[in-house]
Amino acid sequence: MKSRTETEMMNLILSTAREDERVRAVILNGSRANPNVRKDIFQDYDIVYIVREMESFTCDHSWVDVFGERVMMQMPEEKVLPPADGHGRFPYLMQFMDGNRIDLTLIPAEEMDELLEPDSLSVLLLDKDGLIGYLPPASDRDYLIKKPDAQEFADLCNEFWWITMNISKGLWRRELTYAMFMYEQINRNVLITMLEWKVGITDDFTKSAGKAGKYLPDFLHAEVWEQFESTYSDADFNHIWESLFTMCSLFRKTAVEVAEKLGFEYPFEDDKRVTAFLKHVRILPADASSIY
């Protein structure tokens, strides 16, 4: 099946809105509204329809069939796991057989002032009643790396070193899921934030690192990125330990640099004591009756 072009998809999205009197306005959000992003074949169409008679849409979902044959669809507001937001919006997340994807959110016009949250990546495509008003030219200004203050820096360092002790506990207990949750879901994000601050300093906080730091390879020196890659591990506990110490090294090096550039205090004593604790726990016998 040949993929529909961007022109074909946008024409379909807009013609559907124009022909349906219930749809009063259309907004494009996300990467397709970002003039600075690299286009690729997996970009979604993040669309908002401002509608009247909201229930007439949500009581019979067959109306979205007009957008094409789907691989599958997700409707978060009708899910139990994870639970629905219940905030009044209704998203349809649709992956089509031709490779295109539309994330279409309905917002009732009468609740637009409370529910519509236009950001800097918003382009007004259609406004039948002048509901939306002026939107400034789309840019990624709302997504630029934010300069931290001293408290934010201290909190991030505190979080990193605290969580490493949780990781070490999970590794000693050989609790793979717990240890890797702490490692990947918490400390990975802490490290990414610190690396983003490093990038922000270099570029005077005028760049976006993208969702989950996906553009970091574009900004970091090759050796830094290679060290970051080395923080990923398989499920072997010894390998996780090695990756953990690599993560600690990279975090320390980056945080010290950020602290020096921004005039903050790096918690060297926390770092020293926690690192010693990690080294001790790593060699602690599996049948130990006490930590020390």
DSSP string across 28-64: EESGGG-TTSPP-TT--EEEEEEESSHHHHHT-GGGG
Given a contact cutoff of 8 angstroms between Cβ atoms, the answer to whether 49 and 17 are in contact is: yes
Q: What is the pLDDT of residue 75?
A: 97
Q: How confident is the model at residue 13 (pLDDT cuts 50, 70, 90)?
A: very high
**Cβ burial 221-231 (10 Å sphere, 16+ → b, else e):** eeebeebbeeb
Tokens of 135: 């939107």
Angle at 22 between CA 19 and CA 26, to 5 degrees: 75
Q: Which H/E stretch holds residue 157?
A: helix 150-172
CA dist list (Å): 133 to 44, 74, 126, 136, 184: 25, 31, 11, 10, 42
* Beta-carbon-side half-sphere exposure of residue 67 (alpha carbons within 13 Å): 27
High-pLDDT (> 90) share of the chain, %? 91
Residue 84 has pLDDT above 80, yes or no: yes
Residue 122 has pLDDT above 80, yes or no: yes
Q: What is the pLDDT of residue 1?
A: 84
Q: What is the pLDDT of residue 276?
A: 98
Which residue has 């494009």 as its token pair? 28
Q: Which is it for strands 101-108 and 45-51: parallel, antiparallel or unpaired?
A: parallel
Q: What is the pLDDT of residue 163?
A: 98
Residue 117 has pLDDT above 90, yes or no: no
Residue 253 has pLDDT above 90, yes or no: yes
Distance between CA atoms of residues 51 and 26, nearest Å: 9
Residue 37 has pLDDT above 90, yes or no: no
Question: Backbone dihedral region of 88: left (phi > 0), alpha (psi from -120 to 50 degrees) or beta?
Answer: left
Least confident among 5-14, 32-41, 121-130: 32-41
Q: How many CB atoms lie within 10 A of CB 51?
A: 23
Q: What is the pLDDT of residues 58-71, one digit of tens each?
A: 999 999 999 999 99
Q: What is the pLDDT of residue 260?
A: 98
Q: What is the pLDDT of residue 121?
A: 92
Q: What is the pLDDT of residue 292?
A: 95
Q: What is the pLDDT of residue 151?
A: 98
Given a contact cutoff of 8 angstroms between Cβ atoms, the answer to whether 278 and 246 are in contact is: no
Q: What is the pLDDT of residue 31?
A: 93
Angle at 162 between CA 160 and CA 168, to 5 degrees: 100
Q: What is the pLDDT of residue 38?
A: 87
Q: What is the pLDDT of residue 118?
A: 76
